[in-house]
Amino acid sequence: MTNPGRPALVPFVLSALAGFAVCLAITIATGRKEAWDSSLYFVAGIPVMCALVLPIAWAWPTGAWRWAAGMALGQSIALLMGGGSLSLWPLSLIAMTVLSLPQAALAVAAGRCRQKLDRSAAG
C-alpha cells in the first residue's frame, strides 16, 4: 500500500529526527558522552522510540521497517554530535541498528495491521 502525496522521505526524516531527539535528550540529561552508556537509554529511550515509531508506521505502513532504520541513523548522528569518534561511526550505525530491533518489530507489526485493516475495509 502506498500513500499518495506522502513520499517515503517524510516518515524517514520524522523517524530520524525522533531517534536523534531521544538520543540527544538522554545524552544531555545524563551528562554521558553516549546515550547508551546510561540505563535511562534502555529504561526510557527505547520505549519512547517504540511509542514514536508506531504512529509513523501506521501512517506509512509499506516497508515500515525503514522507519526504525531512520531512528538508528538519527541516534548515530546524535552520538557523533555528542563527541563520538568519526572513525567509530560505522560501528555506531551497526550498534544502533541492533538496538533498534524492538522499534523495527513494532513498526512492521503496526504496518501489517494497518495494511490488513485497509484490505478488509476495501473488500
Instruction: Report whether 114 contacts 58 (CB < 8 A).
Output: yes
Query: For residue 2, is it within any domain?
Result: no
CA dihedral 103, 105, 106, 112 (to 10 degrees): 140
Segment 4-31 mean pLDDT: 90
Q: Examine residue 71 and state whether it is found in any structural domain, yes or no.
A: yes
Cell numbers standing for residue 59: 501512517
What is the number of domains present in the chain? 1
Is residue 114 one of the residues assigned to a domain?
A: yes
The whole-number pLDDT of residue 110 equals 97
Contact indicator for 69, 13 with CB cutoff of 8 Å: no
pLDDT at 1 over 70: no
Confirm whether 77 is domain-assigned. Answer: yes
pLDDT of 90 reads: 83
* Range(s) of the domain holding residue 31: 9-122
Q: pTM of this prediction?
A: 0.87
Across the chain, mean pLDDT equals 90
